[in-house]
Amino acid sequence: MKLKSFILGASLAALAAGSGWAEGVKVGMITTLSGGGAGLGIDARDGFMLAVGQSGRDDIEVVIEDDQRKPDVAVQLADKMIQSDKVDVLTGIIWSNLAMAVVPGAVAQGKFYLSVNAAPSALAGKGCNPNYFSVAYQNDNLHEAAGAYLTSAGYKKPFILAPNYPAGKDSLTGVKRFYTGELAGEVYTKLGQTDYAAEIAQIRASGADSVFFFLPGGMGISFMKQYADSGVDLPVVGPAFSFDQGILQAVGEAAMGVKNTSQWSKDIDNAANKAFVESFLAEYGRLPSLYAAQGFDTANLMISAMEKADISDADAFRAALKAADFASVRGDFTFASNNHPIQDIYVREVIKEGDVYTNKIVGVALEDRSNAYVDECKM
């Protein structure tokens, strides 16, 4: 009897002590794993988990849920993860509208949010928060870089095109922030549109000398295939989204030679990136995409902070995140005062390596680019 209670007491003590010293980080990952946009979420998740696996730490627990690309589902998942799973860090959201639904609530409850992709301007400017870090970019960045490229490449009359929704309008604003010359035309298409015959005919008739388009996902695939078939032969520039590894094989020959802007490319020359590309290929049997690189960097940022500070000390953990003391696959990487990256944005060209379509860097569009909303952020 005495022995029994002794053992019981000892094990209780051990349990109590256990929760005291092994303070790990519990991560809630909400991302798109089903439906049309699943490729993006899967790549971000795989990149993130690859970094967690490589860290060799057993004190990171990741809860992964599918948001089905629906804001209401994402909000429910965030509530569940915060209230019943008791996560410390949230991450994973791909789409800006979902981020707008989840991030403000999560950071208001004292959780950290590390964005693997979505970075709407509202969260970079007035709505910035010390607990919200965008690891990928600010949404406007790649479009700004495309505008800068149009200017530096000497185009005089680009035709610019984006879907008629907030990110599409931000895109064309971003382009015009760095390209201030004459435009041959400016067209907003319907979100989810699949047939671009009407727009391509307008491009042909407009006397443009180049085409910029931002049409993420299937829209971009459709546009490029139809554009290549139309006989219009103007150079095309766009952000990386329509020319990324996951999508490029579906566009095929039509994408060859297109210039696109990206903060990452598989041929950025640094040790971390080489190791990442090789290990991703070995682990998953495909080349990593932009989203995979962003997921990988996000996990490594979090791990670098865990090495310096305990998550229970929020101020120290936040400072450790802000220091961004990790080997980014993008090379130089720091945070601006509004917790968005300062980084180089490259111009890539679509090439073919053997049977696989991929990108190579042909120049730098913007060096050490921060973002347009830094001054609006007061924190």
Partner 1 sequence: MSSLLLIEQALNGLQFGVMLFLIAAGLTLIFGVMGLINLAHGSLYMVGAFAAAGVSALTGSFLLALVASLAAAAMAGVVIEMTVIRRLYDRDHLDQVLATFALILIFSEGTRYLFGSFPLFLDKPEWLSGTVTLPLGIEYSLYRLTLIGVGLALAAGLFWMIARTRVGIRIRAGENDREMIGALGVNISRLYTLVFALGAALAGFAGALVGAIQSVQIGMGEPVLILAFVVIVIGGIGSIKGAFIGAILVGLTDTLGRFLLPQLFALFMNPSEATSVGSSLASMSIYLLMAGVLLFRPKGLFGEA
250 or 272, CB closer to partner 1? 250
Nearest approach, Cβ of residue 371 and partner 1 (Å): 22
Nearest approach, Cβ of residue 265 and partner 1 (Å): 19
Instruction: Kindly give, in sequence order, each residue whose CB lies less than 8 Å from that of residue 373, ignoring residues fewer than 6 positions away.
Output: 121, 124, 125, 128, 138, 338, 340
Task: Tell me how far apart the alpha carbons of residues 252 and 258 are, in angstroms, rounded to a whole number.
Answer: 12
Nearest approach, Cβ of residue 34 and partner 1 (Å): 6
Count of CA atoms in the C-beta half-sphere (13 A) of 85? 23
Nearest approach, Cβ of residue 264 and partner 1 (Å): 18
55 or 284, CB closer to partner 1? 284
130 or 252, CB closer to partner 1? 252
Nearest approach, Cβ of residue 345 and partner 1 (Å): 25
167 or 365, CB closer to partner 1? 167
81 or 221, CB closer to partner 1? 221
* Token pair recorded at residue 115: 């964005």
20 or 231, CB closer to partner 1? 231
Where on the chain is the footprint of partner 1 (CB under 8 A)? 34-36, 38-39, 42, 164, 169, 186-190, 192, 194-195, 197-199, 201-202, 204-205, 217-222, 225-226, 229-231, 246-247, 249-253
Nearest approach, Cβ of residue 281 and partner 1 (Å): 15
Instruction: Kindly give, in sequence order, each residue whose CB lies less than 8 Å from that of residue 224, ignoring residues fewer than 6 positions away.
Output: 236, 242, 251, 254, 255, 258
76 or 249, CB closer to partner 1? 249
Nearest approach, Cβ of residue 171 and partner 1 (Å): 13
Task: Tell me how far apart the alpha carbons of residues 57 and 24 are, in angstroms, rounded to a whole number.
Answer: 9
Nearest approach, Cβ of residue 286 and partner 1 (Å): 9
154 or 231, CB closer to partner 1? 231
Task: Tell me how far apart the alpha carbons of residues 61 and 2 are, in angstroms, rounded to a whole number.
Answer: 38
147 or 246, CB closer to partner 1? 246
* Token pair recorded at residue 181: 């010359």
* Token pair recorded at residue 18: 């256990």
Nearest approach, Cβ of residue 128 and partner 1 (Å): 27
